[in-house]
């Protein structure tokens, strides 16, 4: 058996606690989401972080944000900061 100088590259890393918690989180979609369509889902983790994923890929990657980051995103959406992203001609 050959010994590797880089054993950390030979096996996948264990998920960090927040990633493991995301797998069992209680996910929520917007009431404005379309039935059968892809949606953004969010869940609150026990440590207070907010995790975000694409509902079409529930086993795929999830992004973990602080409460302050999500508050800024939601306030920006309420203020119309991102409206240009969904206006006709910008797709």
Yes or no: say if 38 and 56 are a contact pair by the CB < 8 Å rule.
Answer: yes
Q: Are 45 and 18 in contact (CB under 8 A)?
A: yes
pTM over 0.85: no
What one-character DSSP code corresponds to residue 40?
E
Q: Taking a C-beta distance cutoff of 8 angstroms, is the pair 26, 43 a contact?
A: yes
pLDDT tens-digit profile of 15-58? 555 666 777 788 998 888 777 767 899 999 999 999 999 988 88
pLDDT digits (tens, 9 = 90+) for 47-71: 999 999 998 888 888 999 999 999 9
Pairing outcome for strands 40-44 and 50-54: antiparallel
Report residue 34 as tokens.
Answer: 């379309």
């Amino acid at each position: 058996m050959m010994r590797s100088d880089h054993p950390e590259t030979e096996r996948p890393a264990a998920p960090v606690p927040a990633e493991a918690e995301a797998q069992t989180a209680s996910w929520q979609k917007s009431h404005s989401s379309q039935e059968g369509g892809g949606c953004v889902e969010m869940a609150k983790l026990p440590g207070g972080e907010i995790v975000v994923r694409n509902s079409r890929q529930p086993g795929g990657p999830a992004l973990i944000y602080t409460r302050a980051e999500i508050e800024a995103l939601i306030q920006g959406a309420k203020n119309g900061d991102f409206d240009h992203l969904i206006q006709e001609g910008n797709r």
